[in-house]
Structure 1
Amino acid sequence: MSKLQNAIVGGVRRVLGQVPAGWLPGGTPDPLIQRRVSLGTQQPRIDGPDKVRGGARFAAEVPMDGLLYTALVHATIARGRIAELDTGAAEAAPGVALVMTHRNAPKLAVPPPIGMTSMKAAGNNILPIMQDPEIRWNGQTVALILAESQEEADHAATLVQVRYETERARTRFEEAKADARTPDSILIEKNRLLKGNAEAALTAAAHRTDAVYRTPWYNHNPIEPHAATVLWKDGRLIVHDATQMLNGTAGSLAKVFGLKDDQVHVSSPFVGGGFGGKALWDHQILAAAAAKLAKRPVRIVLRRSSMYRLIGGRAETEQRVALAADARGKLTALLHHGYSVKPLHSVCDEQYGLTGRSLYACESFDIVQHHLDLDVVANTFMRGPGEAVGTFAIESAIDELAHDIGMDPVALRLRNLPDRDPVSGAPHSQSDPAKAWQMGADQFGWNRWERRSTRREGEWRLGLGCATGTFPYARMPGMSVRITVDDEGRATVASAAHEMGMGTATVQRQHAADRLGLPLERVDVRIGDTSLPFATMAGGSSQTASLGAAITAASSKLAGELVRLAGNDTPLAGLRANDLEFAEGGLRCVGDPSRQESFASILRRAGRRQISVEGESSAPLEMLKFAMHSTSAIFCELRVSEATGEVRVTRLVGAFDCGRILNPKTAASQFRGGMIMGLGMALTEETLLDPRNGRIMSASLTDYHVPVHLDLPEIDVLWTDIPDPRAPMGARGIGEIGITGVAAAVANAVFNATGKRVRDLPITLDKLL
């Protein structure tokens, strides 16, 4: 098992008698895997037309009467306290309805941390919010302005005067290493892994590599900024939010404001990009507190600069990776030690230390990671947390080892593929990375690779590189779905799940249509609202499998309810639920298609307009018995200018072994999106922090460079499409596997082209000249 897996199965061992929905005993494949109709076919996203026409309402577009607009004033020191705070000019400015500071903010409880099991909490910064004059990081909110227009609020914010008493702040990575913490666990998995004697194996090895790799702080940059529209009505808090943790946000807000769970309603039908950062931060709480004081609805939309100051990103890391191999290239030791920033008020582990535990067969392991406490905004999850930076270090080291041995990097990886989990010994549920490597190598033309590239095109040196990507399977217990079938033969699937642009509603519509034996056009999907059945967060690449398990459970319950409702005056009389299957808009006897009846017929004869049932995903027992990881083979072709050091990636190929692909169109988009983020991680993205005062200097898209269309090469994606027999629908999540391995493949191609090994991301011109 790995990272998120252990965190979500804490209670599983108490319910070992249950069989998880979507997994039949003995590893028998889900029948749907054998009976494809909609699943596995290319389908356009059902939310596409509304988004193109502008009909999709995002959090900052919900209309409300009497709306007030928000502007924030941020602290300009990293540690200290407010000595003087003058809000008089701001309060007297045109259009201003309220200036809220720690002096008049309502009493608020500290938000509960993101929950990995209950999913009823979503807090990132576990600190008091505007409750005292203390400053804990540069960018913390010290004042909030409410005004009749955004322009008036922005103007008034410039009039607030603040004087600080500063204290010595911890802002330097190197200095903080002296006081590093070594946690017992990383996401509830044991932090220190010792298996065999890695140091001795390293000393005795025929071939070895030992180097330090560094990755910077990375910031989230979704197209939709963090935003919320907030209203208090009849003692209830109503929040239209941009979140990937609906019920977690609602549960957290209830605790912060001392409310019952049913007194908070959160709606988030569309999210313009999440990637791990769209959870509960200070801005939603501040907006709700200000709306309570002003007794009017409030809209808060974070400026891009405020997003950098209030929303955490991927933590900075320093990782030592040492590998040892025998004369044949078989790994005998894997040592992975390192540091990452995790302030005491943060709840997110940057779990790079879990990355190498499943990738390769190895005789000995020595793995541990340490946390540094800095006075900065809390770090948080970002696409492929841990694995994105962990694969950069490990896969760069593998390339270095291959160079030392004089072996093809692909051959070295294939030689060390494990036939079961290298640490626990658990069997793989489904794993065929060798096939992915073969597919990717054929598509890319890896036979062009040479140990040191001699290819030139004028000033450009050409290089090829490759790397492995990895991400674990996860499925959340407690995901709930309501299926409603009406007397016209239509079905509606409802859940408080999330649509962040990855195609959740589209794929689950396909699943429900196949499950219920209906054409796609007769299935509707409702998601994104806490008034719907409870849903876990959209994170850890878990939502598709979790929703799939819940739909499976609900459909089984629906079959039982329908046959009971049908009574004795039906072709289905005397049959039990296990004897039935959904087909042609109704139920029929397995093996005897003459015994069938439609949903409409059953309901009309019973005098019912509709029938509804709810199903819940059960404990993910498959994760206790099997090693379940997705893997990829990433290939990169690039050119490096001898004159300027500029790197231009000309081609990327990603071959993925990640279970069954449910919708090739949306899957290809997810894979490419992840690979593009990996390209930014490798070449352009870096959050610049002033070590003197903790100020983020690159707080805009002018200074923080994400890849744009002109930066992108041809990107080919392909997949093995081998169903995982123990995962619902045979599928594992694919939202994060795409980013892992890409940075290493780029760095390895740069080395192949230039002979320069860059171990410190991003790979900028100065590191190559």
Structure 2
Amino acid sequence: MIADTKYIGKSTRRVDGIKKVTGQAPYIAEFNPADLVHGYIINSTIAKGKITAIHKEKALQVPGVREIFTHENVPVEVKIDSDYTDPLAPPGNPFRPLYDENILYNGQPVAMVVADTFETAAFAAGLVQVEYEEEEAYEVDIRRNLDNATHEDVPEPPEPRGNAADAFNSSEVKIDTEYYQPREYHNPMEPFASVASWNEEEGSFSIYDKIQGVSSSQGYIAGIFNLEKEKVRVISPFIGGAFGSGLRPQYQLFFAAMASKALKLPVKVVMTRTQMFSFGHRPACLQRMKLSADKSGKLTSIRHQAFAETSRFEKFNETVVDWSGLMYQCENVALDYQLVPVDVYTPLDMRAPGGSTGMYALECAMDELAIEAGVDPLELRIINYAEKDQNEDKPFSSKELKACYQRAAEKFGWQKRKSEPRSIKQGNQLVGYGMASGVWEAMQQKSSAKAILTSEGKLTVSSGTADIGTGTYTIMSQIAAEILGLSIENVEFKLGDSTLPDAPIEGGSWTASSVGSAVKMVCSALQESIFELATQTHPDVFENKLIEDATFSNAGLSAGSGATISYAEIISSAEKKSIQVEVNSEPEDSRSNYSCYTHSCVMVEVHVDEDTGMISIPRVVNAIAGGKILNPKTAESQIIGGVTWGIGMALEEEGMMDSRNGRIMNANLAEYHVAVQADVKEIDVIFVEEQDDIVNPLGAKGLGEIGIVGVASAISNAIYNATGKRVRELPITLDKVL
């Protein structure tokens, strides 16, 4: 029986699903080459100062301990002063493990014990004593350090338009508020891990690494060891979540590679859960919003100022304020973004970086403006609907946000909302409705792909991308299967290997559009190769036929009313074992004439216990306009995951740091709270039909980020509607409500 070959746009189960649920999908810490030894990293306990001594004598006496690496015995061949530039590194001087005795932040890796077993290494690490000369003058809270805010190395936001200050002062309706978001941590289920093997004879590395793009780790290791990239192979077949934490190589990779080269043994280094809090995070951000409108609710001015944290050694930037100049029609806009250097590690991109932060403030402020103007919050957004991108003065490639508003309102029952807070009660529960808009960039990057079709009719398509749980294996297989008219069971997609064609890191919601476009292109090129070969092997069937007349289906080729010749027969008749094609894909030049974005409307119902202040969220509706939905099944999972994270962002997540020593106090999953099963009830995901022939050849916009954008603000707005209490600092905990 021939399988249906129409896959694009159909709900298709994950092609790697069986491997995952049966434990056959290998994650990085599960690779165990022969003669493997284990590393255990030791982290600093002060925020700023110098190491004065490291006492490792007792640890070296433990049976099974091979070596203890510190800044004093880094192998000379490790080029810590390498001029290799991480393309993802922000301006400044990237952190270099074991560079010298200086401590830049609490939790900085200062040593590593290598032993025959993980348990031995961990035990011996506890015997190592590190002495410090501590500097008392340091700061970890941006709110106490705003005097040092800077525009240095900060890209300028869009140019001001009109005169926002004058328009604000002369307007009838206005709000002037501040919102604060604390630092948040990624906490993927799989901890960071690396397994490095140095081949002395070949002068090369073979590395398994948890990373969102193998080229990132390959370039990093090649750079610091002064190797050709071809001498570093990085493999990363399955990733147990990353959310941006795996964009840049993390420090366990350096330690594993360094130790392997020094000891000439394979070395595995796996971070503990506590160590997962010792690098990168969503930066804390203080935002000031000034909005004004006329009595009808029409915006007259927008002023958005943001202060975000960064480390002392790098200037990490996000796009936080730009959304306020893009989202709504307004002629008077002034945007300002500044960085506040503090004594923490450099922040990292974290799901919808900058977007979830900036839109939190904007959408809460819009709710406050709606109340001040006496206009329904949904109506206010429709009144100020932007038909073009005023930041860039460009039309949108497509925008179905109004349809998102309509579909969400119908499904949610927005018309039942009462504008007066505390108007709806169910027993002891105060019921509130809130909503917010969402937006995220629809980007496309350069990407390459290769396709090989064998004489058995099996297709292998490959690209050096990643699958961080989003379904990359599946949607790429769908694209390839449909274009060549194959059963998806006869298609294999390979990724996560630096020997495969180049692909961008998996981030920014651009993998489907970037790698997917390359897969579509390479399979179309393979169609041409098959047709050309068929004209040679079966001239009686394809004589005087054009490829435009050809049909690629049922694992074969036909033209007009002629017979279908199987791919296997065509390739075998040519006395070949396979045919292969490789292509490079990049955005069309015409794309630059448009602004490309994904949009959403989030509506939330909250219940707040009148006595205890306990908050629950019985239902969320999220309507998404994301272009072509390649696989509704995996797409829905992406949005549900984003909404779940938005619930955690709104109500639970907060990295707490002890200002006395710069230590993260809740560096564990018991005290760093995230949304769990009991917090997540009904989530309805609606995909609004959206045709976009400009954004990329597939018309797909990407969905990884948009699911979280707007959720925290919708919850905040619903809590106000339920209680009459406006909480402007995340997370919104019951003590703040009370």
**TM-score, scaled relative to structure 2:** 0.95
The answer for the alignment partner of 1:677 in structure 2 is 645
Correspondence for 1:716 among 680, 684, 692: 684
The answer for the alignment partner of 1:72 in structure 2 is 41
Q: Is the 8 A contact 1:353 1:367 kept in 2?
A: yes
Correspondence for 2:131 among 139, 159, 163: 163
* 1:49 paired to 2:18: yes
Q: Find the aligned partners of 2:490 and 2:464 in 1 and give their Cα distance.
A: 21
Correspondence for 1:584 among 539, 551, 554: 554
Structure 1, unaligned stretches of length 5 or more? 1-34
Partner SS, residue 735 of structure 2: helix
| Distance change (3 Å), C-alpha of 1:697 and 1:640 | same
The answer for the alignment partner of 1:624 in structure 2 is 592
Partner SS, residue 321 of structure 2: helix
Percent pairwise identity: 36
Q: Is the 8 A contact 2:438 2:599 kept in 1?
A: yes
The answer for the alignment partner of 1:201 in structure 2 is 167
The answer for the alignment partner of 1:179 in structure 2 is 148
Q: Find the aligned partners of 1:651 and 1:211 in 2 and give their Cα distance.
A: 28
**Aligned AA for 1:218?**
E
* 1:707 paired to 2:675: yes
Q: Find the aligned partners of 1:517 and 1:218 in 2 and give their Cα distance.
A: 45
**Bigger Cα displacement from structure 2, 68-77 vs 214-223:** 68-77
Cα deviations by residue, 1:265-314 (Å, 9 ceiling, x for unpaired) = 111100000100013011111111111122211111110001101x2110
The answer for the alignment partner of 1:460 in structure 2 is 429
Q: Is the 8 A contact 2:318 2:354 kept in 1?
A: yes
Partner SS, residue 658 of structure 2: coil
Correspondence for 1:476 among 436, 440, 445: 445
Q: Is the 8 A contact 2:5 2:554 kept in 1?
A: no
| Distance change (3 Å), C-alpha of 1:655 and 1:481 | same
Correspondence for 2:567 among 596, 599, 606: 599
Q: Is the 8 A contact 1:516 1:583 kept in 2?
A: yes
Q: Is the 8 A contact 1:653 1:716 kept in 2?
A: yes
Correspondence for 1:108 among 79, 87, 99: 79
**Aligned AA for 1:754?**
T
* 1:379 paired to 2:347: yes
Q: Find the aligned partners of 1:454 and 1:141 in 2 and give their Cα distance.
A: 54
Correspondence for 2:256 among 287, 290, 306: 287
- The CA deviation at 1:184 is 6.0
Q: Find the aligned partners of 2:378 and 2:457 in 1 and give their Cα distance.
A: 53
Partner SS, residue 57 of structure 1: coil
- The CA deviation at 1:556 is 3.1
- The CA deviation at 1:361 is 1.1
- The CA deviation at 1:610 is 0.5
**Aligned AA for 2:194?**
A
Q: Is the 8 A contact 1:653 1:717 kept in 2?
A: yes
- The CA deviation at 1:475 is 0.7
| Distance change (3 Å), C-alpha of 1:595 and 1:616 | farther
**Aligned AA for 1:209?**
I
- The CA deviation at 1:567 is 4.2
Partner SS, residue 209 of structure 1: strand
- The CA deviation at 1:581 is 5.0
- The CA deviation at 1:52 is 0.9
Partner SS, residue 193 of structure 1: coil
- The CA deviation at 1:551 is 1.4
Correspondence for 1:258 among 223, 226, 230: 226
The answer for the alignment partner of 1:12 in structure 2 is none
The answer for the alignment partner of 2:63 in structure 1 is 94
Cα deviations by residue, 1:651-708 (Å, 9 ceiling, x for unpaired) = 1110111111111111111000000001000000000011222111110011100011
Q: Find the aligned partners of 1:528 and 1:567 in 2 and give their Cα distance.
A: 36
**Bigger Cα displacement from structure 2, 619-628 vs 454-463:** 619-628
Q: Is the 8 A contact 1:658 1:732 kept in 2?
A: yes
| Distance change (3 Å), C-alpha of 1:110 and 1:49 | farther
Correspondence for 1:554 among 498, 502, 522: 522
Correspondence for 1:274 among 226, 242, 249: 242
Q: Find the aligned partners of 1:368 and 1:184 in 2 and give their Cα distance.
A: 14
- The CA deviation at 1:92 is 1.1
Partner SS, residue 348 of structure 2: coil
Q: Find the aligned partners of 1:138 and 1:369 in 2 and give their Cα distance.
A: 27
Q: Find the aligned partners of 1:623 and 1:78 in 2 and give their Cα distance.
A: 46
**Aligned AA for 1:178?**
D
Q: Is the 8 A contact 1:71 1:154 kept in 2?
A: yes
- The CA deviation at 1:596 is 5.8
Cα deviations by residue, 1:683-738 (Å, 9 ceiling, x for unpaired) = 00000011222111110011100011011121111111323222232211000100
The answer for the alignment partner of 2:295 in structure 1 is 327
| Distance change (3 Å), C-alpha of 1:334 and 1:573 | farther
- The CA deviation at 1:345 is 3.2
| Distance change (3 Å), C-alpha of 1:64 and 1:184 | closer
Tell me the matched-pair count.
Answer: 724
Q: Find the aligned partners of 2:63 and 2:662 in 1 and give their Cα distance.
A: 33
| Distance change (3 Å), C-alpha of 1:126 and 1:451 | same
Structure 2, unaligned stretches of length 5 or more? none
Q: Is the 8 A contact 1:183 1:191 kept in 2?
A: no
**Aligned AA for 2:570?**
I
Q: Find the aligned partners of 1:721 and 1:349 in 2 and give their Cα distance.
A: 34
| Distance change (3 Å), C-alpha of 1:582 and 1:115 | farther
**TM-score, scaled relative to structure 1:** 0.91
- The CA deviation at 1:620 is 4.5
* 1:766 paired to 2:729: no
The answer for the alignment partner of 2:716 in structure 1 is 747
What is the RMSD of the two structures over their aligned residues, measured on CA atoms? Answer: 1.9
| Distance change (3 Å), C-alpha of 1:417 and 1:484 | same
Correspondence for 1:492 among 460, 468, 487: 460
Q: Find the aligned partners of 1:424 and 1:192 in 2 and give their Cα distance.
A: 8
Cα deviations by residue, 1:314-345 (Å, 9 ceiling, x for unpaired) = 00000111111122211121111110012243
Correspondence for 1:733 among 675, 692, 702: 702
Correspondence for 1:689 among 652, 657, 660: 657
| Distance change (3 Å), C-alpha of 1:125 and 1:226 | farther
- The CA deviation at 1:36 is 8.6
The answer for the alignment partner of 1:5 in structure 2 is none
The answer for the alignment partner of 1:221 in structure 2 is 187
* 1:308 paired to 2:274: no
Cα deviations by residue, 1:608-659 (Å, 9 ceiling, x for unpaired) = 1100101111234354111111111101111112222111111111011111
Correspondence for 2:176 among 179, 199, 210: 210
Partner SS, residue 249 of structure 1: helix
Q: Find the aligned partners of 2:701 and 2:734 in 1 and give their Cα distance.
A: 38
Q: Find the aligned partners of 1:110 and 1:216 in 2 and give their Cα distance.
A: 34
